[in-house]
Structure 1
Amino acid sequence: MLHTVDLLVIIAYLAATAWLGLKLSGRQSGLRDYFLGGRNLPWWAVCLSVVATETSALTVVGIPVMSFLGDISYLQVAIGYIIGRVIVAFFMLPRYYDGEMVTAYAYLGKRFGQSTQTTAGITFLVTRLMADGVRVLAAAIPLKLILDGMGIETNYFTIIVVLAVVTILYTFIGGIKAVVWVDVAQMFLYVLGGVLTIVVVSATTGGGWFTDAAEAGKLSMFVFSGNPISDASSFVPSLVGGAVFAMASHGADQLVVQRLLACRTKVEAQKALIWSGVVVFVQFAVFLVVGLALWGYYEQQTPAQLGLTRDDEIFPLFIIEGLPQGVSGLLLAGILAAAMSTLSSSLSALSSSTVTDVYGRLKKSPVTDAQGLRVGRWATIGWGLAFIVPAAFFRSDEGSIVILALGIAGITYGGLLGAFVFGIVNKRADAVDANVAFVVAVAVNAFFFVMEKFVTGEVWVAWQWYPLLGVLVTFAVGGLLSLRHPAAAVAARDRETVR
């Protein structure tokens, strides 16, 4: 049970975080300020914001249980993430800085036309809504344990509603600049919390947990056995799939691209992107070691034996029971605030895509700064409320919350990445080719996801393969459709585009 000092720390820290975000946000006078921070943010802040945005509460709550129940082989994915980021930095990122683009999907509009940009934008909105609904759930898990420990009866749905409303208010006022700087503060806090957890467990148990973990084979990082298609823990899908997944998430997902476009220059954006991969690797390693430490602390008991209803509750349980007074409150406050800052990042990305890729494409007259800012803020409110539905829907899922979120995002990542690369490589294709290929790629991945989660319960294709599978389907379908266009017609179209 939490003590009074812990509750005071949580309240004070959340208030300080809100104040910091609003203090650093500045006046939002238009779309460039609200969605890109005036393109004047330092690369290192953007780097840390990217890390906090893509992992935050999911990392703190979900990754320790992976090593608690298994080993540290999830680091194979982190290596792939670094490779994928390097490719994006030099292959895709320069195209986003070719002009004043606000979203990732503006490039598709430039290459294929309005219909493709709108299609990609709408698909991003739907998938991001589902994936970030899981993020809301991740934030609700530690909060429910807090309230249960205080003897307050509650449920995930009520907590989800409260978190969504608080996040809406925060993002509505601050814009992307506030979100980035709060992300920086939160990342330092929850990583420090992970390190403190390792120190406390080592001091309590004498450090024998590390030797026990090594003897139990839990320090295995590389796994070369298993089916490379369906076994998500094996080396090939982790490395190759992780690289392609990072290419999609950091090259075709507005949630990350929006931050990179807020850098001062292309070179600074490349530095932010590549270094974020290194930081993610270190961060994953910290929280996987946390899981090993907790495995030793709880004497190798399973979450069920500890009376938990979800595997992902294991680290929040230790925060409440095992950390000193004040430290528990500080780390829980960091988890909640980091989760809300991540959600506010999603709201900012969703609203920017709504304004630029949907509203701006469907509106007959040009969108003014005042109109875009107004629509963007209303979109922030709408998407924040919409988060409640998928978060409530997935609350009963018993699998890893990290894998669930990544699997949902992977459904469309392959189609989005495929459309980008396809547009760059295939000069013959037009909007119809790209749109049809994109839809087919998303449908193929959705089929495997639905079969696994709701029909057979068996993994036919590991989640790491979703992006690569989508890319291959996009190239195959789009390439075949592009053969319809005679070379002469393609050359004429290119000459018209130049004019």
Structure 2
Amino acid sequence: MTAWGAWLGRGARGGEEYFLGRRDLPWAIVLLSVVATETSTLTFLSIPGIAYGGSLAFLQIAAGYVLGRIAVARWLLPAYHEGRLRTAYELLEARFGPETRRFTSALFMVTRLLADSVRLFATAIPLTLVTGWPLIASVLVIGAVTFIYTFIGGIRAVVWVDASQMLLYVAGGLIALVVLGQAAPGGWPDILGRAAEAGKLTLIDPALDFGRPYTLWAGLLGGAFLSMGSHGADQLIVQRLLACRDLAASRRALIGSGFAVLLQFALFLFVGLGLWAWYDGATFARSDEIFARFIVEALPAGVRGLLVAGVFAAAMSTLSSSINALSSTTAYDFWAAAHPGADEGRILRAGRAAAAAWTLLLVAAAIGFIPLSEESTAVEVSLGIASLVYGGLLGAFALARFSRRATSGSVRAGIAIGIASVTGVWVFARAAVAWPWFVLIGAAVTVGVGLVAARLGARR
């Protein structure tokens, strides 16, 4: 994968070719890349743990993801393509000026650094189990291998390798389903029968309880707003959509990815049910380790190797995407803005230097990451971190698209108070308000404060 990715992106001569792939990437490949980027190792390892300790109710979140993508395709994608933008935050500069663009771009950078360091940490766990290496060595190896093809190949390499890596780890999940079914005395009918008796096949929970993350309302509303934030205001995904050939292709890639993610979540949740039957509901210190332990302890050679390869394919897909997106925002939102006369060649060199710096920061953050608590899986921690900021970013884009009164100052005030509000909820009321509601709350506060601040400013 590393060699192929480096070969795919060879010969890039400018920043736009390196970061946007000449804007001619096939939508089907972009669709697979979007799925691989947003799910990664946390899907492979953590989602089975959610079903192991709970039920299939997580699929309600995935249903909300589809609704959120439809909204982004309808309201935000046209604006991105009309201006032939290079980063998501250029749209905010056109409406509110360069200060807002840099402010939101910096928020994206901090969020991606924190959330993706969690992902990198989670991926190092199975490598440590397989090799016996120290956790630090595992993080360093994953970071170094991914950096090579990302640095050389740019977005074209990242997208094509993402697509192939997704097919690899989905194949690993399907193989796990087969192995688990064969191990049960009565096959999958026996597993599902036992799961039904234990209440683990629950799909819809209509309870209106803001403290529970996997209810119908948290799934449809919270999941939709989370998806709007992650796929409409996050350069990690927007960069891929900008690399499609036209608006119609971007819409197909975005909406299609929602249905693909729904199926993928279902696959790994059923893996979790199979693991629950295999271990007879035994208790584990960390639910993220259950599938990893099954791979290295229970599978035969060959199959074990393929599943381990799937783990690392999932890890590399997200890490490479994060490095490339972070370097693109650094190059365009900060470096190029400070050097208005720079040509595409100089932007390319600045972007590659930024890629090296961000790789080091991601690896360092992963090494310094405090081990997850027993109450939360890595996927919940990562989504929770991202949700703290997504509401503020989404609210800013809503003000840019639908408010004539909002100003640069009012938008930045709205973002700051919106993020502070959600952070306060996370710190002081986490038991009463679950993480799927964070983006909705943050977006509502950001829009409300932005409109009020703009009105007060106009009166002065």
For residue 26 of structure 1, report the CA deviation from its aligned partner: 3.4
SS in structure 1 of the partner of residue 82 of structure 2: coil
What does residue 441 of structure 2 align with? 469
2:92 to 108, 125, 128: 108
- Other structure's SS at 2:203 match: coil
- For normalisation by structure 1, the TM-score amounts to 0.88
Instruction: Compute the TM-score of the two structures, normalised by the length of structure 2.
Output: 0.96
Tell me the equivalent position of 2:171. 192
Q: Which residue number corresponds to residue 348 of structure 2?
A: 373
SS state at 2:202 partner = coil
User: Counterpart of 1:169 in structure 2: which amino acid?
Assistant: I
1:214 corresponds to: 196
CA distance 1:179–1:415, shift in 2 (3 Å):
same
Q: Is the 8 A contact 1:65 1:315 kept in 2?
A: yes
**Structure 2 counterpart of 1:35:** 19
Q: Is the 8 A contact 1:167 1:384 kept in 2?
A: no
Distance 1:459 1:392 in 2: 28
- Against the structure 1 CA distance between its residues 251 and 33, is the aligned structure 2 distance closer, same or farther, given a 3 Å change threshold? same
Q: Aligned-pair distance for 1:195?
A: 1.1
Q: Matched residue of 1:459: which SS?
A: coil
Match of 2:8 in 1: 24
Q: Are 1:438 and 2:427 counterparts? A: no
CA distance in 1: counterparts of 2:248 and 2:305, whole angstroms:
39
| Match for residue 337 of structure 1 among 313, 317, 321 | 313
CA apart distance, 1:42: 0.4
Q: CA RMSD in A?
A: 1.6
Give CA-to-partner distance per residue, 1:189-222, whole Å, 9 cap, x none. Answer: 1111111111111111131212101111100011
Shift of 1:475: 1.2
CA distance in structure 2 between the aligned counterparts of 1:486 and 1:403, rounded to whole angstroms: 41
How far off its partner does 1:351 sit? 0.4
**Residue aligned with 2:248, SS:** helix
Q: Which residues of 2 match residues 378-397 of structure 1 at below 5 A?
A: 378-397=353-372
Deviations 1:239-288 (A, max 9, x none): 10000100010000000000000100110000000000000000000000
The whole-number CA distance in structure 1 between the counterparts of 2:362 and 2:88 is 22
Q: Distance in 2 between matches of 1:390 and 1:282?
A: 32
CA distance in 2, matches of 1:331, 1:61: 11
Per-residue Cα deviation, 1:267-323 (whole angstroms, up to 9, x for no partner):
00000000000000000000000000011111221224xxxxx22111111112222
* Alignment match, 2:40: 56
Instruction: Please say which of residues 401-410 and 421-430 is displaced more in the overlay.
Output: 421-430
- Report how far residue 164 of structure 1 moved: 2.0
Question: How far 1:49 moved relative to its partner?
Answer: 0.3
User: Structure 1: which 4+ aligned runs deviate by more than 4 Å?
Assistant: none
Deviation at residue 155 of structure 1 after TM alignment: 2.9
Q: Find the counterpart in structure 2 of residue 497 from structure 1.
A: none
Cα offset, 1:360, TM superposition: 2.4
Give the aligned partner of residue 450 of structure 2.
Answer: 478
2:64 alignment partner in structure 1: 80
- Mean CA deviation greater in 396-405 or 276-285: 396-405
1:58-115 deviations in Å (ceiling 9; x for gaps): 1001100000111010000000000000000011000000122111111001111100
Q: Deviations over 1:444-488 (max 9, x none)?
A: 222233447xxxxx524211111111111111111111113559x
Q: Deviations over 1:37-58 (max 9, x none)?
A: 1111100000010000000211
Q: Give 1:43-442 correspondences, 5 Å limit.
A: 43-147=27-131, 152=132, 154-205=133-184, 206-207=186-187, 208-225=190-207, 227=209, 229-304=210-285, 310-361=286-337, 363-398=338-373, 399-442=376-419
Supply the distance in 2 between the matched residues of 1:177 and 1:395 (Cα, whole angstroms): 34
Give the 3 Å change call, closer, same or farther, for CA 70–95 of structure 1 in structure 2.
same
Q: 3-state DSSP class of the match of 1:225?
A: coil
Report if aligned partners of 1:165, 1:385 keep a CA contact under 8 Å in 2: no
The residue type paired with residue 325 of structure 2 is: A
Worse overlay, 350-359 or 61-70: 350-359
Aligned 8 A contact 2:27 2:252 in 1? yes
Counterpart CA distance in 2 for 1:344 and 1:433 is 35
Structure 2 unaligned blocks of 5 or more: none
Question: Residue type matched to 1:439 in 2?
Answer: A
Moved more, 138-147 or 110-119: 138-147
What SS does the corresponding residue of 1:176 show, helix, strand or coil?
Answer: helix
Query: How many angstroms does 1:357 deviate by?
Result: 1.3
Distance 1:328 1:395 in 2: 28
**Runs of at least 5 residues in structure 1 that lack an aligned partner in the other structure:** 1-16, 305-309, 453-457, 490-499
CA displacement, residues 140-181 of structure 1 (integer Å, 9 cap, x when unaligned)? 11101102xxxx3x3323322332232222211110101111
Q: Using the TM superposition, name which of 459-468 and 75-84 deviates more.
A: 459-468
Q: Which moved more, 1:252-261 or 1:316-325?
A: 316-325
Q: Secondary structure at the match of 1:71?
A: coil
201-210 vs 66-75, which deviates more? 201-210
* Distance across 1 between alignment mates of 2:341 and 2:437: 40
Amino acid aligned to 1:268: A
Quick one: structure 1 residues 438 and 366, their matched pair in 2 at CA, closer, same or farther if it must change by over 3 Å?
A: farther
Cα distance in 2 for partners of 1:193, 1:199 equals 10
2: CA distance, partners of 1:85 / 1:296: 35
Q: Deviations over 1:344-393 (max 9, x none)?
A: 100000000111112223x1533321221111111101111111333234
In the TM superposition, residue 226 of structure 1 has moved relative to its aligned partner by: 6.0
Paired-residue identity, %: 45
Partner of 1:65, secondary structure, is helix
Tell me, yes or no, if the aligned pair for 1:444 and 1:470 is still in contact at 8 Å.
yes
